[in-house]
Structure 1
Amino acid sequence: MEALIDSGVPRGSRVAGVVLTLVALVAAVLGAPPGAAAEPVQPPETEIDTPLRTDGERIRDAAGRDVILRGISVIDKREPFYPDVGPEDFRRIRDLGLNHIRLGISWEGIMPEQGRIDQGYLDAVRNIVRGAGREGLLVILDMHQDLFGGPRGNGAPDWAYRPGWCPHLELAEPTGAWAANYASPEINCAVTRFWRSEELQAYYSDAWKAMAGAVADEANVIGYDLMNEPWQGYIPPVLFERQYLYPSQARWLEAIREVDPEAIGFVEPNVLKSLTVVSPPPAGLLPDNSVYSPHLYGPWDFTSESELLQETRRLADVNFGYSAKEASGAGVPLWLGEWGVFTTAPGAADYATHVYDMVDDALAGTAIWEYGDSAYGPFDTSTWEPTPLYESVLRAYPQAVPGTLREINYDPRTRGLDVAWSGGDGGVVSLRAPAGRYPEGVSLRGSSDWLWDAQRGVVTARVPPGDGELALRPAGS
Structure 2
Amino acid sequence: MNYCRMSGVLALASLLWFGACQSGPKPDKNFLSVDGNRIVDEKGRTVILNGINYVTKDPNKYYDNVNDDRLFRQFRNRGINCVRFGLSWRGVEPEPGKINEKYLKEVDKRVRLAEENGIKLILDMHQDLYGGKYGNGAPDWATLDEGLPHKTGDIWSDAYLLSPAIHKAFDNFWNNAAAPDGVGIQDHYIFVWKTIAKRYVNSPSVIGFDIMNEPFSGSESRTILHKLLETYGTIVAESTGNTLSEKELLEMWGNESKRIEALKTLNEKESYRRIVDSAYEEVCAFEQGPLSQFYQKVRDVIREVNKKHILFLEHSYFCNLGVKSSFLIPKDREGNNDPLCVYAPHGYDLVTDTDEAANPDYNRVEVIFERIFEAGKEKRTPIVVGEWGAYYMGGEYLQPALHIIGIIEKALAGQTYWAYWKNIEKQDYFDKVISRYYPMETNGILLHYNNDYNNGKFVVEWEENNEKSVSRIYVPNINILKNIHIDLTPKSDIKIISIEGSNSGYLEIFPIGNKRSLIIPLQNQNLNHRNR
TM-score w.r.t. the length of structure 2 is 0.73
Distance 1:280 1:101, change over 3 A: closer
Distance 1:89 1:212 in 2: 25
Structure 2 residue 369 is the aligned partner of structure 1 residue 391: no
What's the offset of the Cα at 1:436?
Answer: 7.7
Map 1:70-85 → 2, pairs under 5 A:
70-79=50-59, 80-81=61-62, 84=65, 85=67
- Give the corresponding residue for 2:416: 367
Secondary structure at 1:398 match in 2: strand
Map 1:205-220 → 2, pairs under 5 A:
205-220=190-205
Map 1:62-461 → 2, pairs under 5 A:
62-79=42-59, 80-81=61-62, 84=65, 85-169=67-151, 171-172=152-153, 175=154, 177-182=155-160, 183-197=162-176, 199-235=184-220, 237-276=283-322, 278-282=323-327, 287-305=338-356, 310=359, 312-343=361-392, 346-372=395-421, 379-380=423-424, 386-392=426-432, 393-412=434-453, 416-426=457-467, 427-435=469-477, 438=480, 444=486, 445-446=488-489, 447-455=491-499, 457-461=505-509
- Give the corresponding residue for 2:271: none
What's the offset of the Cα at 1:93?
Answer: 1.5
Higher RCO (CA-CA < 8 Å; seq separation 6+): 1
| Unpaired stretches in structure 1, ≥5 consecutive residues | 1-13, 18-49
Distance 1:164 1:338 in 2: 31
What's the offset of the Cα at 1:223?
Answer: 0.8
Percentage of identical aligned residues: 31
Distance 2:520 2:478 in 1: 15
The answer (yes or no) to whether the contact 2:133–2:143 under 8 Å persists in 1 is: no
The number of residue pairs the alignment matches comes to 416
The answer (yes or no) to whether the contact 2:97–2:188 under 8 Å persists in 1 is: yes
> Greater CA deviation, 217-226 or 282-291?
282-291
Secondary structure at 1:234 match in 2: helix
The answer (yes or no) to whether the contact 1:442–1:452 under 8 Å persists in 2 is: no
Distance 1:242 1:218 in 2: 32
The answer (yes or no) to whether the contact 2:329–2:341 under 8 Å persists in 1 is: no
Secondary structure at 2:450 match in 1: strand
Distance 1:314 1:82 in 2: 42
Which structure's residues are more often strand, by fraction?
1
- Give the corresponding residue for 1:40: none
| Unpaired stretches in structure 2, ≥5 consecutive residues | 1-25, 178-183, 221-281, 331-336, 525-532
Give CA-to-partner distance per residue, 1:412-465, whole Å, 9 cap, x none.
356632211235123210111122894756654234311111325211111122
- Give the corresponding residue for 1:58: 38
- Kindly provide the amino acid, as one letter, of the partner of residue 448 in structure 1: S
- Kindly provide the amino acid, as one letter, of the partner of residue 264 in structure 1: I
> Greater CA deviation, 315-324 or 451-460?
451-460
Secondary structure at 1:230 match in 2: coil
What's the offset of the Cα at 1:140?
Answer: 0.8
RMSD between superposed Cα atoms in Å? 2.6
Distance 1:222 1:473 in 2: 33
- Give the corresponding residue for 1:31: none
Distance 1:342 1:292, change over 3 A: same
Secondary structure at 1:419 match in 2: strand
- Kindly provide the amino acid, as one letter, of the partner of residue 303 in structure 1: T
What's the offset of the Cα at 1:270?
Answer: 0.3
What's the offset of the Cα at 1:127?
Answer: 0.8
The answer (yes or no) to whether the contact 1:343–1:389 under 8 Å persists in 2 is: no
